[in-house]
A and B are shown apart, each in its own frame.
Chain A
């Protein structure tokens, strides 16, 4: 199968696109990447994802698959037997990984935690939003202890897996949050296993070339994302 068979539509700041890239790297899949523009969405984007009009979109043999976690599962199943498996093989472990990945997307980021920090009015509100995010990380630390096994570097155990990808893709944005608001999210005192995990994840061969430039991301956050979030919050308040 040639490169033309697999195409990824994305945007460079998106952590969701990063998930798909890591999964494709793990399976050594050759693909064509197309940078899309959310201010001026391509025909292909709108045709391939008419329901949500969002990236990432994976096109395999021209057929579109949408939603990053669904795409990652698809990659695991379509290229099963090639490279490492991404989801756990045991049905219960697989279900638990799916549960935490859904938690990460629905509860942790972006809707609740990080956005709340950005739009918070005043120091008290900000501190409360930061605490919410840190509490969620403690929950994920506990999950890590239960899921990964004694002394293992990843949620997936010895190797990187679905949940590592789901959370790890957000690290660039979490770093930007830490720098912007002068907070430390991952700490030895409260999340020691996750602190080591961040290091292991970022060094992984399937990940390291996909890590975003946090400077560029920070600029993008300040110029585009944060103003937009504040606008949305202000409109909702009226």
Chain B
């Protein structure tokens, strides 16, 4: 298969403004794997999406030679296990692998929700201060995982955990801008800040982050108090 040919059997059903879709595509792009992107409208899901992910009916779904696979973190490990010519994103040592799986799961289940609640004020007014402290605690926790010395969570190269954390780079800034204040400031979180710059210095990362305008519009809409049952498509 030539470098510029798209593997006919490889498709990503995604929603481009979502970090889950972007994590998968960043992984593919980092490894130089060509694929077809199919953009889904979450208010009008394609019959293909519903067929390939009947359990969750969500994006992203990877379709490889007719085999569908949902769930971004699971897809990322599948890509790593399957395209073994390219540099792996998972570390080789079993303990390190357990750690990156643990922290990637932490980001999705604990860190991101806590940041959203704090920045978008999705709580009772009297609880807000407490929620801000909680969010800062979890941000500090992940910053400690990075530590002072490492360029990336993956060490010298971008790895699984760096990709799992791209929400901090691509989405949090727009959210903070819309909200008018910074939870994650350079002063309070210097290592994460340095990591952000390191990540942004890579073309592949920059190319896989959403554009600022639609994202900003989305967060302004969220902040105005609308419940996201129907996700508008911001262009």
Instruction: Check if B211 is an interface residue, CB within 8 A of chain A.
Output: no
- Asked if B81 lies at the interface with its beta carbon under 8 angstroms from chain A, I say yes
Total residue contacts A-B, CB cutoff 8 A: 59
Q: Of A70-78, A164-172, A202-210, A212-220, which binds chain B?
A: A70-78
User: Do A74 and B74 have beta carbons less than 8 Å apart?
Assistant: no
CA of A80 to CA of B92 in the docked complex: distance in angstroms? 13
Are B95 and A94 within 8 A (Cβ)?
no
Residue A103 interfacial (CB < 8 Å): yes
Which of under 10, 10 to 19, 20 to 34, or 35 or more describes the interface residues of B?
20 to 34
- Cα distance, A95 to B101, chains bound together (Å): 14
Closest to B69 in A: A95
Asked if A82 is at the interface of the complex by the 8 Å CB criterion, the answer is no
Please determine whether A63 and B55 come into contact, CB atoms closer than 8 angstroms.
no
Contact present for A78 and B69 (CB under 8 Å): no
**How far, in Å, is B63 (CB) from chain A's closest CB?**
12
Contacts known (A51-B110, A91-B82, A98-B77); A73 close to B98, Cβ less than 8 A: yes
> Chain A contacts of B101 at CB under 8 A?
67, 70, 73
- Interface: B228 (CB within 8 A): no
Complex contacts, B74 vs chain A, CB 8 Å: 95, 98-99, 102
Contacts A65-B95, A71-B98 hold; do A99 and B71 have CB atoms under 8 A apart?
yes
The B51-105 residues at the A interface (CB cut-off 8 A) are: 55, 64, 67, 69-71, 74-75, 77-78, 81-82, 94-95, 97-98, 101-102, 105
The CA-CA distance from A63 to B71 in the complex, in Å, is: 29
Instruction: With CB as the reference atom, state the residue of chain B lying closest to A75.
Output: B94
CA distance A60 to B97 in the complex (A): 14
A74 touches B94 (CB 8 A): yes
Pair B55/A139 contact, Cβ less than 8 Å? yes
Q: Which residues of B have CB within 8 Å of A98?
A: 71, 74, 77
In the docked arrangement, what's the CA distance between A96 and B81, Å? 13
Q: Are B141 and A91 in contact (CB under 8 A)?
A: no
Considering residues A66, A67, A91, which has the most beta carbons from chain B within 10 angstroms of its beta carbon?
A91
Q: Decide yes or no whether B106 CB sits under 8 A from chain A.
A: yes
CA distance A51 to B104 in the complex (A): 13
A51 contacts B106, CB within 8 Å?
Answer: yes
Contact A92 B78 (CB under 8 A): yes
B75 — which chain A residues lie within 8 A by C-beta? 95
Which one of A63, A67, A80, A95 lies within 8 Å of B102 (CB-CB)? A67
Contact partners of B81 in chain A: CB under 8 A: 91, 94-95
Inter-chain contacts of B95 with A (CB < 8 A): 60, 63, 65, 74, 78
Return chain B residues, CB-CB under 8 Å to A95.
69, 74-75, 77-78, 81
Complex interface: chain B residues within 8 A of A103 (CB):
55
Shortest C-beta distance, B23 to chain A (Å), equals 15
Q: How far is the CB of A40 from chain B (nearest CB, A)?
A: 24
Considering the chains assembled together, what is the distance between the CA atoms of A71 and B67 in angstroms?
Answer: 27
By a CB distance below 8 angstroms, the chain B residues around A71 are 98
A102 touches B98 (CB 8 A): no
Of all chain B residues, the one with the shortest Cβ separation from A92 is B67
Whole-angstrom CA separation of A67 from B110 in the bound complex: 14
A60 to B64, CA, bound (A): 37
A70→B98 contact, CB < 8 A: yes
Residues 4-47 of B contacting A (Cβ, < 8 Å): none
Which A residues, 48 to 63, have Cβ-Cβ distances below 8 Å to chain B? 51, 60, 63
10 further A-B contacts with Cβ under 8 Å, apart from A66-B102, A70-B98, are A51-B106, A65-B95, A65-B102, A77-B97, A91-B78, A91-B82, A92-B67, A99-B69, A99-B71, A139-B55
**Can you name 17 A-B residue pairings with CB atoms under 8 Å?**
A60-B95, A65-B98, A66-B102, A67-B101, A70-B102, A73-B98, A73-B101, A92-B67, A92-B78, A94-B78, A95-B74, A98-B74, A98-B77, A99-B69, A102-B74, A107-B55, A139-B55
Interface residues of chain A, those whose CB is within 8 Å of chain B, are 51, 60, 63, 65-67, 70-71, 73-74, 77-78, 80, 91-92, 94-96, 98-99, 102-103, 107, 139
Name B's A-contacting residues (CB within 8 A): 55, 64, 67, 69-71, 74-75, 77-78, 81-82, 94-95, 97-98, 101-102, 105-106, 110, 141
